[in-house]
């Protein structure tokens, strides 16, 4: 890992009636539009969906790094994230984030250790740590047969 601080740059472009094109060096373009809840088409990634996707992605990547450092064997991790957008004191913002993690581990893996590492991943996720929304994690551990 490189020393902090890290810097990330994205450029967005649009015309008055087009989708937004997001570009970053060496990355594929992402086309976005407002979600259906804000009168958009609902068939493109939106800023709201991208934020929630970043939470799920960050959780999985955080868990992977923590599990590797802790020498925990695992087979599969499915992470579903959802966010609640609301108005608080006339400001629209995410007020709650729920992360549901379903981890599959080999039969000989310590389930308590797996649970602790899932909790540690939630506390280590830089995306949820950057938000003021309340965050909740629910976990399910499946032992492969």
Q: What is the CATH T-level fold of the domain 47-143, as seen in this structure? A: GMP Synthetase; Chain A, domain 3 (3.30.300)
Tens digit of each residue's pLDDT (9 = 90 or more) over 17-75: 999 999 999 999 999 999 999 999 999 999 999 999 999 999 999 999 999 999 999 99
| pLDDT confidence bin for 145, thresholds 50/70/90 | confident
Whole-number pLDDT of residue 53:
98
Q: How confident is the model at residue 77 (pLDDT cuts 50, 70, 90)?
A: very high
Over the stretch 98-121, which tens digit does the pLDDT of each residue have?
999 999 999 999 999 999 999 999
Confidence of residue 130 (pLDDT cuts 50, 70, 90): very high
Q: What is the structure's pLDDT at 28?
A: 98
Please give, one letter per residue, the 3-state secondary structure of the chain. CCCCCCCCCCEEECCCCCCEEEECCCCCCEEECCCHHHCCCCCCECHHHHHHHHHHHHHHHHHHHHHHHCCCCCCEEEEEEEEEEEEECCEEEEEEEEEEEEEEECCCCCHHHHHHHHHHHHHHCHHHHCCCCEEEEEEEEEECC
């Amino acid at each position: 890992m490189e020393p902090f601080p890290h810097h990330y740059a994205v450029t967005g472009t649009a015309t008055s009636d087009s989708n937004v094109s997001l570009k970053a060096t060496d990355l594929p373009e992402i086309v976005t539009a407002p979600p259906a809840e804000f009168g958009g088409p609902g068939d493109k990634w939106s800023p709201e969906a991208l934020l929630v996707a970043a939470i799920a992605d960050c959780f999985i990547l955080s868990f992977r790094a923590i599990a590797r450092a802790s020498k925990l064997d695992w087979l599969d991790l499915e992470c579903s994230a959802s966010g609640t957008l609301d108005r608080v004191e006339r400001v629209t913002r995410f007020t709650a984030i729920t992360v549901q993690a379903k981890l599959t581990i080999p039969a000989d893996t310590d389930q308590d250790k797996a649970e602790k590492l899932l909790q540690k991943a939630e506390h280590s996720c830089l995306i949820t740590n950057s938000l003021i929304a309340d965050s909740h994690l629910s976990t399910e551990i499946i032992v492969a047969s």
